[in-house]
Amino acid sequence: MCTGNCSKFIGAALYPFSGLCILCNILLLFPDWKLEAVQDPSEKLTAEVLYLGGVFGSGLMVLLSAIAIQCVGRRGKCNNRCGMFASIFLAGVAVCGSVYGFATSLLGLVNGPQCYYKFLSGNQRWTAPFKMDLEYLELKRSYLFHKEVWTRCTLPAGVVEFNIILFSTIMVASAIQIVLCLIQMINGLFGCLCGTCQKR
């Protein structure tokens, strides 16, 4: 495949993944589909949600780079060796954004959600329960392997599953973005050395 056409394909392929990451991160701000968490984010939302890795990292940083990468593949002023050289750096920026989105989502998945948790002692309070000592929660492994404790998060309803699905989606989309951008960095190098093979 021509290096220019490859850039067009990769740029276009990054769009849906960027949009998906933005959407998932925005949805994480509204657990149980209500506005209560946004009105009191310090108590009801985890730091990983507020880092907005899916919006800024895997979302906007990748989206802006994707637009430029796709332009490099189109016939015109950018479709030359210099444009392909620039696409290497643009893809590098997108990789940084994707890694940020992946890392924040991984932390969000590992640490679990903020919820109104019912402890075995009978006490209930807003906290990030799964960040606590596993022995205190009487768990042998991460909460991800103990589905029975998910129901102890009484508010917002179904918040554990909600977080797992959305953070996992951002992670998968970010991983795909990283692969595509690394391919574009290699493609950009070949385009810089060999040209874009577009007919003038």
Note the pLDDT of residue 200.
47
94 is in which domain, residue-wise? 3-114+159-194
| Phi and psi, residue 126, nearest 5° | -75, 125
Residue 166 lies in a domain: yes
Listed in sequence order, the DSSP H helices in 29-80 are 36-39, 41-44, 47-50, 62-73
Residue type, 185: M
Hunting for tokens 């606590």 — which residue is that?
Answer: 132
Residue segments in the chain with a per-residue pLDDT below the cut of 70: 1, 73-80, 133-138, 195-200
Residue 200 lies in a domain: no
Residue 105 lies in a domain: yes
Residue 122 lies in a domain: no
Using a pLDDT cut of 90, give the percent of the chain over it: 45
Residue 98 lies in a domain: yes
The total of structural domains in the chain comes to: 1
Residue 150 lies in a domain: no
Residue 153 lies in a domain: no
Q: Which two tokens stand for residue 187?
A: 């493609």
